Structure 1
Amino acid sequence: MLTATAISQSSTDPLSGLVLRDAPVPGLRPGWSLVRVVASSLNMHDLWTLRGVGHPAEQLPIVLGCDAAGFDEDGREVIVHPVLGDSEAGGGDVTLDPGRALLSERHDGAFAEYITVPTANLVPKPSWLSFDEAASLPVAWGTAYRMLFTQAKIRAGDRVLVQGAGGGVASAAIKLAAAAGAVVYATSRSETKRAEALAWGARAALATGERLPERVDVVIETVGEATWSHSMKALKPGGAIVIAGATSGPAPFADLNRIFYQQLRVLGSTGCTRAELVALLRMMDATGVRPVIDRALPLTEIHKGFQLMIDGSVTGKIIIRPDDSEGIS
């Protein structure tokens, strides 16, 4: 079977370490299932691996790809919950298991025709969701769902700022928060992406760093250094900033005086649980909200997809299809 495999890492030329190569169909172990992948999607996590950020070189080579939707060995349509771990070790939350791993960190990922995963990680794919849409959800949309509803506990009427509109998590957060009845503000350097954010339900979309019409209850932060100061200043006293990434680099100045004096909350968030992924599907069914898909590419063009991400030329998710005969259903 064809795979997209990371064989080396480079901070300056990450795609040089990504190769297309044949590999045997993976064998099964007790409690695991074989999934024929119909669709996967690109995530920043894949680029971090290729850049050598958070992924030890000794764990290469490894097949990349955190998201997958396809068929199990019994022909059932499934979505893969991508966090592999022990929920008991995390006090009932697999994302808090110190030994957890995301698919493609210690186990070959989804940029392949077949993958194996623990059977408990399979979630039935609803018939109203296409494979391309399903493959957009586990990492980006699951992360956004947990940030909004588990960590920030937003309610209808809350004011929410989403930094960096256009990325997978940010586009999901805008749509989900708006669907939940929140007033959403979004920022982006791109006029095109600001227009998209308005179409997704944001009340206003502003240039990065621009003053908001009002202070907000919650900030969804995945950008980091470039937006951190703005995020802190945008919060109401008692508000919360939820962080699930720092694509522009770590925040250079914590602004601790503001945090303690205004009693702000800074919350980290990573991934989602299987139960949160199921809850996300229920919300999507109830509200009709759907993921934003930039484009779909065959596995043979995966380098093109990553280059678009590197260039910042993506709005929503890029889908990767191992067998491009499978379209959006």
Structure 2
Amino acid sequence: MTEEAVEAGGAGADELPEPMARVLGEYERHLVSERDLTHHSVRAYVADIAGLLDHAARLGHTDVAGLDLRTLRSWLAKQQTLGRSRTTLARRATAARVFTAWLARTGRAPVDAGASLGSPKAHHNLPAVLRVDEADELIRAAAEIADDGSPVGLRDVAMLELLYATGIRVGELVGLDVDDIDRDRFVVRVFGKGRKERSVPFGRPAARALDFWLKQGRPRLVVEGSGSALFLGARGRRIDQRAVRTLVHRRIAEVPGAPDIGPHGLRHTAATHLLEGGADLRSVQELLGHASLATTQLYTHVTTDRLRKAYQQAHPRA
């Protein structure tokens, strides 16, 4: 049983009734081959559905065709009694709806039992972001360290510049190849969630940092197994997400007064600064690769919150 399945309150596929286990395996293959989801997303979906099917089996169901709305609601209610957060409950309700829709669409169930399943509204906490001067200080300090010309230092500056300039996800950053950078048009080709491709612009500071890295840094780290990876680790292989997160946290800690954020915090920061600078919401949505405008709208709350604080500090009648 996976850790995710345990956390979802369920069993592994080998502990389910055989008809359920078979359908769960078919669903996993569907997520991988037809929806082209990342390994992490597939694992999370499968763990949630394994938990749902285990709950259904404990209620006496032996086949997915018997899933009904009452069973789905009972599963979510059990999750709530176990203290799961509203965000987790909302995610699992979504996972259940996607699964039951697939069951009905493929003829594995007579009706879509989850079509009427509601979701608890998740709380959206305002993300911590850097001020413009803090973002400048972050990259300036990293550039000072890179003045020794070390390839790792040049790489770190290029990664920080690109994360802040584009707002791309850390998984998208580490997946970049050299050919994904268009240095003439100042855009980077990114493959986001579901392998959806988009082009994201970056500015001249990021372009300069990338040039230094590609001309003076990367060639000194390249090994036989480097392939076409844009960013390399100290041993010459494609850098991984953990190394990037460690770098960002370490560099942020060197900026006085800055909140402790990781690569996703730089993504929040980029989006916030774009909106504060006058970018429209639809453009920011496209840049970030959000499927829904509602996700991007979170950043309008961030900028409004910052405006309110500035008003309270500055206006004599605040």
Same fold at TM > 0.5: no
The structure with the largest alpha-carbon Rg is 2
Structure having the higher strand fraction is: 1
Determine which structure has greater relative contact order: mean sequence separation of CA pairs < 8 Å that are 6+ residues apart, divided by chain length: 1
Structure 1 or 2: more helix by fraction: 2
Q: TM-score, normalised by structure 2?
A: 0.30
The two structures have a TM-score, normalised by structure 1, of 0.29
